[in-house]
């Protein structure tokens, strides 16, 4: 069971990293970049920070699970990686249904993000950007929803919350919430909530820019693809 948990943690960390990896270089000086909100100024910082936090949590959890099979390693690692171990540290190696569902959601989200990367190509940017050679993409995931990459972000954040706060989580079993690390974790929660709100607002900005740039072509597209994030729902 512990081996499976380690593999799932590594898979979750890898999928999360890929899902948040900027696939293209930053916008060039010839590009039209929207900078009208606080989120646009901190989005790159948020993305890089989240990747570090999630990867660190996954690797630390995996290391503790492996150490459970080697008592001497447990003694050596626990003071550094598990400052306040619970009385049932073996729960770190268990895979609850919520944990499995969280990893599944992270995997789906990463696949959706990669689909968006490959569909948009060089037009995928972390800033709201209109390039001189911009075209309206209506294929791939964009044939079903107008902002699928934001759906991917939403699912990555939800999947992470489920994975890292499920029964037997590293945060709980190692007592991270009674250490200074709790402020980093709380900041992650706050940034996640802020990001979800900001992306819903950003989608409206993008729609307005697409309307302004492509006119009738965008109007026809918006009449065909009416939902922004989840086909048939939102």
185-226 pLDDT per residue, tens:
888 888 889 989 999 999 999 999 899 999 999 999 999 999
203's tokens? 């989608």
26's tokens? 């930053």
Give the residue carrying structure tokens 């992650």: 188
Q: What stretches of 24-92 show up as alpha helix (H) in DSSP? A: 38-67, 71-81
pLDDT band for position 30 (50/70/90)? Answer: low
Stronger pLDDT, 230 or 43, i.e. the higher one: 230
Model pLDDT for residues 130-187, shown as the tens digit of each residue: 777 788 999 999 999 999 999 999 999 999 999 988 888 999 999 999 999 899 888 8
Average pLDDT over residues 28-55: 80
The residues, any chain, with a CB within 8 Å of residue 188's CB and separated by 6 or more, are 49, 50, 53
Taking 3-state DSSP, the helix, strand and coil percentages for the chain, each rounded to the nearest 5, stand at: 70, 0, 30
Counting every residue written for the chain, the total comes to: 234
On whether residue 232 sits in a domain, the answer given is no
Say if residue 27's pLDDT is above 70: no
On whether residue 230 sits in a domain, the answer given is no
Residue range(s) defining the domain that contains residue 13: 2-224
Average pLDDT over residues 51-74: 88
On whether residue 233 sits in a domain, the answer given is no
For the chain, the domain total comes to 1
On whether residue 211 sits in a domain, the answer given is yes
Give the residue carrying structure tokens 């597209």: 221
On whether residue 234 sits in a domain, the answer given is no
CATH label of the domain that carries residue 8: 1.20.120
181's tokens? 């690390």
Asked which of 17-31, 51-65, 104-118 is least confident by mean pLDDT, the reply is: 17-31
On whether residue 231 sits in a domain, the answer given is no
């Amino acid at each position: 069971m512990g081996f499976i948990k380690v593999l799932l943690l590594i898979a979750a960390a890898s999928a999360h990293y890929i899902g948040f990896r900027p696939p293209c270089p930053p916008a060039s000086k010839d590009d039209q970049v929207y900078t009208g909100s606080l989120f646009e100024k901190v989005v790159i910082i948020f993305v890089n920070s989240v990747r570090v936090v999630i990867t660190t949590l996954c690797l630390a959890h995996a290391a503790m699970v492996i150490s459970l099979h080697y008592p001497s390693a447990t003694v050596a690692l626990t003071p550094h990686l598990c400052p306040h171990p619970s009385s049932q540290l073996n729960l770190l190696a268990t895979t609850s249904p919520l944990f499995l569902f969280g990893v599944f959601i992270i995997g789906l989200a990463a696949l959706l993000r990669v689909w968006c990367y490959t569909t948009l190509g060089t037009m995928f940017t972390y800033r709201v950007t209109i390039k001189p050679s911009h075209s309206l993409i209506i294929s791939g995931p964009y044939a079903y929803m107008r902002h699928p990459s934001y759906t991917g972000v939403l699912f990555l954040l939800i999947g992470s919350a489920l994975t890292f706060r499920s029964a037997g989580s590293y945060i709980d079993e190692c007592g991270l919430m009674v250490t200074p690390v709790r402020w980093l974790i709380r900041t992650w929660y706050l940034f996640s909530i802020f990001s979800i709100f900001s992306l819903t607002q950003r989608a409206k900005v993008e729609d307005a820019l697409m309307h302004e740039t492509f006119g009738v072509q965008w109007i026809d597209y918006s009449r065909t693809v009416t939902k922004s994030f989840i086909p048939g729902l939102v």
